[in-house]
Amino acid sequence: MKQTDNFKLNKPDYTDVADISIINDNMDIIDNILGGHTKSTSNPHNVTKEQLGLENVNNTADSNKNVLSATKLTTARKINGTVFDGTADITVPATLTFTALVSKDLNTVTAQGFYGGGANNSCTNLPTEVSTFMLIVS
C-alpha cells in the first residue's frame, strides 16, 4: 500500500475496499503529530516578535523595570491647580464652601457646592416630608 511522504499515512488505492482500521491508524498518526506540535513551547517555526507586531515589547522581568515604583512623569500634570510630576507627594488644596439656603427653589441651584437648609426654611422643591437638608452639586 502506498504511503504519504511526510507522515507515512496509508493510502488505499481507489479500487480498495475501505478498511476502518487503516482510517483509524491514519487518524491516530495525525492526532499524535498535531497534539505534540500544539503542546510544544519551543517555537518550532521560529516566529519573531516583529512578525507578531511586538517589536516594541521589552521582554524583561518587571523587577528590572520602573513599574514597581513611581518615576517622574514625562509630562507633568495639574491636579486641582497643583503641578504633579510623580517625584513627590503633593498637597491638594480643597476649598469646601457651605451655603445656607433659607428661601430658594432647589431646582435652580446649579453651581457646584455644598448647600443646606435648617429647620423652618422656606425653600421649594424639597423632597416630601423634609424640613432640613444637605445638597451637593458637582
CA angle 72, 76, 79 (to 5 degrees): 115
Same-domain status, 55 and 65: no
Average pLDDT of the chain to the nearest whole number: 86
> Per the structure, how many domains does the chain have?
3
Mean predicted confidence (pLDDT) in 97-112: 92
Kindly report the backbone phi and psi dihedral angles of residue 116, in degrees, each rounded to the nearest multiple of 5, phi listed first. Answer: -160, 160
Please say whether the beta carbons of 124 and 105 come within 8 A: yes
Same-domain status, 54 and 64: no
Same-domain status, 43 and 2: yes
Q: Among 116, 114, 118, which residue's Cα sits nearest to residue 136? A: 114
Q: Which is more confidently placed, 70 or 20?
A: 20
Q: Among 134, 80, 65, which residue's Cα sits nearest to residue 106? A: 134
What global pTM score does this model have?
A: 0.33
